[in-house]
């Protein structure tokens, strides 16, 4: 049994606490929370800073880890996508080394669970080692509705392979500009039948909405450069969110990733339509690619569940949820640390369906424990903080 204490403890499901001790079993289970005065100093494992549960990264692409520092920053989404398409192929050994480093980096940064996008089986061996809980989203894309059966067949093959590796997995759609409504329907049905969550990149740039509203702009240019015909695509004349969300099953937890251009209206409309919606922000990747952030301060008042992702090392300098929170607080100093910590722990765990184990210091859970050193103990500002994993 360990008796762990620090200047402050964020249990997440209740208010921050001072002068308290976490009672932890040898295998990391929360046994209880007691008053610090019930122990002698010698019985305590004492840390400076704040204790928080293990962090949940709800959006990553482990298999793009070898693309770290390969692309220039702030070029916009379409240029970024072209670069990824051109440079993602690499020697498998090089990819494996980069993924192992990325996995170890996340572990060290106190991340206990990851929602990870896969287009191939490349990352499955690493994920099967289980030092981090991974949920794999097998990502499908094709804007051609006539290809939907072939694409789904490939998706089912990847799902079967994931099962072979003993890893959790479900299907996901890539992004509004790269899928057909038919494909979204099939993915949604598959997730419903398997009772698994799904995700899609959403409202990532103005180019995305221009493509949906007028069929023109940079996304059309992307297809031209990739030599993919757009004969079957008819612009729906509605935003990407309005066009696609109705085809996602309302009973299935659905994560919208990025939401960079989401408006109040988008948030209210989507929340009314879909009761199991989660909104993921990846601020450092947004700054890297588009040099702009979603209006998180506005959105937090209009949506129920926010989660945090790092996106991949192709568009981020590190895989650290704490660094994402620091970026949010730098741009929106009004956003309080206890709110952000709830997004980065409990709500991520809820989305992945693992909140019986992860996400808070409730008795019986094995959530992992981190200490945030350098947190301001008066207003909880994270600006000069760093994270250390204890369990």
Q: Please identify, using beta-carbon distances, which residue of 116 and 242 lies nearer to Zn ion.
A: 116
**From the CB of 168, what's the least distance to Zn ion, in Å?**
18
**From the CB of 115, what's the least distance to Zn ion, in Å?**
10
Number of residues that bind Zn ion (CB under 5 A): 1
**From the CB of 46, what's the least distance to Zn ion, in Å?**
39
**From the CB of 139, what's the least distance to Zn ion, in Å?**
9
Question: Contact at 8 Å (CB) between 62 and 312?
Answer: yes
Q: Please identify, using beta-carbon distances, which residue of 280 and 382 lies nearer to Zn ion.
A: 280
Interacting residues with Zn ion between 81 and 140 (CB under 5 A): none
Task: Find all residues with CB under 8 Å of 321, minimum gap 6, and list them.
Answer: 55, 56, 57, 109, 110, 111, 308, 310, 344
Q: Please identify, using beta-carbon distances, which residue of 21 and 324 lies nearer to Zn ion.
A: 324
Dihedral over alpha carbons 307, 100, 187, 304 (to 10 degrees): 0
How far is 129 from 341, CA to CA, in rounded Å?
27
Integer-rounded Cα Rg, in Å, for the chain is 21
**From the CB of 356, what's the least distance to Zn ion, in Å?**
27
Q: Please identify, using beta-carbon distances, which residue of 62 and 167 lies nearer to Zn ion.
A: 62
- The token pair at 344 is 């980065």
Q: Please identify, using beta-carbon distances, which residue of 24 and 255 lies nearer to Zn ion.
A: 255
Site string for Zn ion, 311-350 (x = CB under 5 A): x---------------------------------------
Longest CA pairwise span in the chain (Å)? 74
The single-letter DSSP state of residue 288 is H
Q: Please identify, using beta-carbon distances, which residue of 290 and 311 lies nearer to Zn ion.
A: 311
Q: Smallest Cα–Cα separation from 20: which of 1, 47, 42?
A: 47
**From the CB of 15, what's the least distance to Zn ion, in Å?**
34
Specify the 3-state DSSP secondary structure of 162. Answer: helix
- Which residue is nearest to Zn ion, using beta carbons? 311
Interacting residues with Zn ion between 297 and 316 (CB under 5 A): 311
Q: Please identify, using beta-carbon distances, which residue of 64 and 354 lies nearer to Zn ion.
A: 64
Question: Contact at 8 Å (CB) between 340 and 325?
Answer: yes
Q: Smallest Cα–Cα separation from 199: which of 309, 125, 293, 287?
A: 309
Q: Residue ranges of the alpha helices (H) in 142-202?
A: 148-164, 181-194
**From the CB of 118, what's the least distance to Zn ion, in Å?**
11
Q: CA–CA distance from 317 to each of 82, 196, 360 (Å)?
A: 20, 31, 28
**From the CB of 169, what's the least distance to Zn ion, in Å?**
17
Could you tell me the sign of the dihedral formed by the alpha carbons of 163, 167, 170, 174, in that order?
Answer: negative
Q: Please identify, using beta-carbon distances, which residue of 312 and 337 lies nearer to Zn ion.
A: 312
Residues in contact with Zn ion by the rule CB under 5 A: 311
């Amino acid at each position: 049994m360990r008796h762990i204490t620090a200047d402050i403890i964020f249990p997440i499901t209740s208010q921050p606490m001072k002068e308290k001790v976490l009672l932890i079993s040898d295998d990391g289970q929360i046994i209880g929370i007691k008053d610090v005065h019930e122990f002698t100093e010698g019985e305590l494992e004492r840390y400076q800073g704040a204790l928080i549960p293990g962090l949940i990264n709800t959006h990553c692409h482990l298999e793009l880890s070898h693309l770290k520092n390969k692309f220039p920053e702030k070029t916009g989404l379409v240029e970024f996508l072209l670069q990824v398409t051109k440079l993602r192929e690499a020697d498998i050994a090089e990819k494996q080394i980069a993924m192992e480093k990325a996995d170890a980096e996340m572990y060290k940064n106190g991340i206990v669970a990851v929602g990870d996008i896969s287009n191939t089986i490349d990352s499955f061996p690493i994920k099967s080692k289980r030092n981090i809980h991974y949920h794999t989203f097998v990502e499908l894309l094709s804007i051609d509705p006539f290809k939907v059966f072939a694409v789904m067949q490939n998706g089912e093959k990847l799902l079967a392979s994931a099962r072979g590796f003993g890893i959790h997995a479900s299907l996901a759609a890539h992004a509004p500009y790269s899928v057909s409504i038919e494909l979204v329907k099939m993915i949604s049905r598959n997730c419903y039948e398997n009772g698994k969550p799904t995700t899609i990149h959403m409202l990532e740039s103005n180019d995305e909405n221009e493509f949906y509203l007028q069929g023109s702009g940079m996304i059309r240019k992307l297809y031209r450069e990739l030599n993919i015909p757009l004969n079957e695509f008819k612009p729906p004349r509605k935003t990407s969110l309005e066009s696609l969300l109705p085809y996602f099953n309302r009973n299935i937890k659905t994560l919208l990733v990025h939401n960079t251009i989401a408006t109040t209206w988008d948030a209210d409309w989507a929340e009314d339509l879909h009761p199991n919606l989660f909104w993921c922000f990846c601020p450092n990747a947004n700054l890297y690619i588009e040099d702009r952030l979603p209006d998180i301060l506005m959105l937090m008042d209009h949506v129920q569940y926010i989660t945090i992702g790092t996106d991949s090392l192709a568009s981020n300098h590190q895989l650290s949820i704490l660094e994402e929170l620091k970026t949010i607080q730098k741009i929106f100093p009004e956003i309080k640390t206890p709110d952000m910590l709830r997004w980065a722990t409990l709500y991520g765990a809820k989305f992945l369906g693992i909140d019986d184990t992860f996400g808070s210091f409730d008795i019986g859970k094995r959530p992992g424990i981190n200490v945030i050193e350098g947190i301001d103990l008066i207003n909880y500002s994270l600006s000069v903080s760093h994270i250390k994993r204890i369990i």
